[in-house]
């Protein structure tokens, strides 16, 4: 019992490190302090300090301890640990020691980094890296759908960034998809939806920053540079050989509105996934501070969208509003 308590206390302050993670560190130089559990004193003591050069024998010993579940890292080193996982996101799927909230943080951070690269260079090799991470995240969520709530709780508010906006749109879009699809959704559909939500605004990365950062009303010729961004995102997706329905619908339709007041087609004929993306996109945009508008609290933004029922599909905006009102999800 005493040992049990002691181990529980240790788990609050330390991660037990898995062999997959250990193997991903530089072989001889651990990037953070390592601790070993000493049974007789029921305490953790230093095994190696950050940056120590280990001998072959120590490396062998380290792996043996790890295999026996006796090797730990301090939660105080979480920034280093998570930075490491951010770069090798698939580790998140095999590490049971990371708390669910920490895992969501790491996924979000990894996706944002990959998206930043992708928006700078929307070409196949950069996309492949984003794709890899996106598939880790969909696997992570698919395995336990409740994990999505941790992503919603961490939706980015405050200053606008296209990468953060895109990850917000992903989190809310996937949640809406799982909430509102009555029939079974296949894993393939889920994955394609995730990619489409992440890439819905790729076209915005081509709009000059001096236009997106403007705090004064846009001139006609400036607005003309923004209006085609859905078409541009669609074109980029085709160039990357991503011709599936969800991608076409998310990119082309996310600014279309039910009453035909949207753009670029001004069509009223919008697919279900296009309508879903429109709600996820508009809501995500409202949470962030934009040059022309302050950030809105989640509940206020959801109310506004649900009230705009001639523009946004109430099936989605209503689901979001009632989940927020009943506290079944929380944000910020």
39, 146, 192, 215, 257 from 316: Cα distances, Å: 54, 19, 19, 30, 13
Only segment of 56-64, 89-97, 101-109, 193-201 that touches Fe ion (CB under 5 A):
193-201
- Shortest separation between residue 243's beta carbon and Fe ion, angstroms: 20
Q: Which stretch binds Fe ion (CB under 5 A): 120-128, 197-205, 208-216, 297-305?
A: 197-205
Using the rule CB under 5 A, give the single segment among 2-10, 74-82, 140-148, 199-207 that binds Fe ion: 199-207
Scanning 100-108, 182-190, 212-220, 279-287 for contacts with Fe ion by CB under 5 A, the matching segment is 279-287
- For residues 62-91, which are near Fe ion according to CB under 5 A? none
Q: Which is nearer to Fe ion, 84 or 229 (CB)?
A: 229
Which stretches of 72-161 are DSSP H helices?
A: 78-87, 100-120, 124-143, 148-153
Q: CA end-to-end span of the chain, whole Å?
A: 39
- Shortest spacing between CB 262 and Fe ion, in angstroms: 10
| Closest CB 45 distance from Fe ion, rounded Å | 51
Residue number with CB closer to Fe ion (281 or 313): 281
Between 71 and 163, whose beta carbon lies closer to Fe ion?
A: 163
Shortest separation between residue 152's beta carbon and Fe ion, angstroms:
17
Radius of gyration for the alpha carbons in the chain, expressed in angstroms and rounded: 23
Residue 7 Cβ vs Fe ion, minimum distance, rounded to whole Å: 46
Q: By CB under 5 A, tell whether 95 contacts Fe ion.
A: no
Helix axes 100-120, 78-87, angle to 10 degrees: 50
Which residue in 88, 75, 79, 102 sits closest to 22, CA to CA?
Answer: 88
Rounded Cα gap, residues 181 and 183, in angstroms: 6
Give me the least distance between CB of 293 and Fe ion, in Å please: 14
Counting contacts by CB under 5 A, is residue 281 touching Fe ion? Answer: yes
Nearest-angstrom CA–CA distance, 288 and 156 = 7
Task: Please tell me whether residue 36 adopts helix, strand or coil conformation.
Answer: strand
Residue 232: how many other CB atoms lie within 10 Å: 19
For residue 287, how many C-alpha atoms fall within 13 Å in the half-sphere facing its CB? 26
Cβ nearer to Fe ion, comparing 233 with 323: 233
Taking CB under 5 A as the rule, does residue 201 contact Fe ion? yes
Footprint on this chain of Fe ion (rule: CB under 5 A): 201, 281
């Amino acid at each position: 019992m005493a040992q049990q308590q002691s181990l529980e206390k240790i788990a609050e302050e330390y991660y037990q490190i898995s062999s997959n993670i250990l193997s991903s560190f530089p072989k001889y130089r651990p990037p953070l302090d390592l601790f070993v559990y000493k049974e007789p004193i029921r305490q953790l003591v230093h095994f190696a300090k950050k940056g120590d050069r280990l001998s072959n024998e120590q490396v062998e010993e380290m792996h043996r301890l790890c295999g026996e579940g006796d090797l730990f890292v301090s939660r105080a080193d979480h920034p280093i640990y998570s930075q490491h996982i951010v770069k090798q996101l698939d580790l998140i799927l095999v590490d049971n020691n990371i708390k669910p909230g920490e895992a969501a943080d790491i996924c979000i951070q990894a996706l944002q980094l990959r998206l930043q690269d992708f928006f700078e260079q929307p070409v196949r090799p950069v996309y492949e890296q984003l794709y890899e991470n996106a598939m880790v995240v969909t696997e992570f969520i698919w395995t336990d759908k409740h994990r999505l709530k941790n992503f919603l709780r961490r939706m980015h508010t405050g200053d606008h960034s296209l990468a953060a906006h895109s990850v917000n749109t992903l989190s809310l879009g996937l949640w809406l998809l799982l909430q509102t699809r009555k029939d079974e959704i296949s894993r393939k559909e889920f994955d394609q939806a995730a990619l489409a939500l992440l890439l819905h605004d790729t076209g915005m990365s081509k709009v000059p920053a001096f236009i997106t950062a403007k705090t004064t009303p846009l001139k006609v010729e400036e607005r003309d540079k923004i209006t085609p961004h859905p078409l541009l995102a669609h074109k980029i997706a085709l160039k990357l050989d991503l011709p599936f329905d969800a991608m076409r619908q998310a990119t082309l339709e996310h600014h279309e509105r039910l009453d035909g007041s949207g753009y670029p087609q001004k069509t009223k004929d919008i697919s279900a996934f296009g309508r879903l993306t429109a709600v996820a996109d508009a809501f995500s945009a409202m949470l962030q501070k934009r040059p022309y508008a302050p950030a809105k609290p989640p509940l206020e933004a959801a109310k506004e969208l649900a009230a705009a029922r001639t523009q946004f599909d109430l099936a989605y905006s209503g689901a979001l509003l009632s989940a927020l009102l009943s506290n079944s999800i929380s944000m910020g």
